[in-house]
Amino acid sequence: MKSTKFTGVAAVALTALGIPALLAPSASADTDKVRVDNVSDSQKCAVGKPCFVRVRLVGSNRLSQVTISVNNTVIGYAVPEQDQWDNNAATAEVTWVPSDYGNYTVTARQDTSSGSINYNLSNPNSTGSFSGMFPTGSAG
C-alpha cells in the first residue's frame, strides 16, 4: 500500500516539475516584420541605388544575428539593435542594391524563425499602375 501512495506522490511531484517546462516560452525569436525602405525621402528604391531591408524581431533571442536574402541569395547579415521604445523588440537592417527591376522575394531568417515579403520593383520610366510602389506579402 505504501508503494502505491509513493507512486502517486511521485507522479504528482513529477507532473508538477514538468508543467513549468511545458508552459515556458520558447527561446527562439520571431521575425515580426520585413520591409524594404528607401534610403531617404528624396530617393526611391531603384536599380543601382541602395535600399534598406529592415526586419523587426521579437522574442528572447531577438538580438541574435539575422540573415537576409533576396530570391534565395544572401545579401547580408545583421546584428539587431534593441528598440528603445519596446523592450521586447529589436530591429536589424542591411543595404540592398537591386540589379534589375522585377518581383523579388525578400526573406529574413533568424534561428528557426523567418519572414518574407514579395517586393515588386517597377521601372519608374515605364507606363503602368502604381502597384510596384508598395511591398506585398506577409511576415511569418
pLDDT confidence tier of residue 92, bands split at 50, 70 and 90: very high
In three-state secondary structure terms, 81 is strand
At 8-46, the pLDDT tens digits run 444 444 444 444 444 444 445 677 788 888 776 677 888
Q: Which of 73, 60, 74 is nearest to 27 (CA)?
A: 60
Q: Which of 23, 115, 124 is nearest to 62 (CA)?
A: 115
List strand residue ranges (DSSP E) for 2-138, in order.
29-38, 51-59, 66-70, 73-78, 81-82, 89-96, 102-110, 113-121
Q: Is the pLDDT of residue 97 over 50?
A: yes
pLDDT confidence tier of residue 127, bands split at 50, 70 and 90: low
pTM of full prediction above 0.85 = no
For the chain, domains (ranges, CATH) are 29-133 (2.60.40.10)
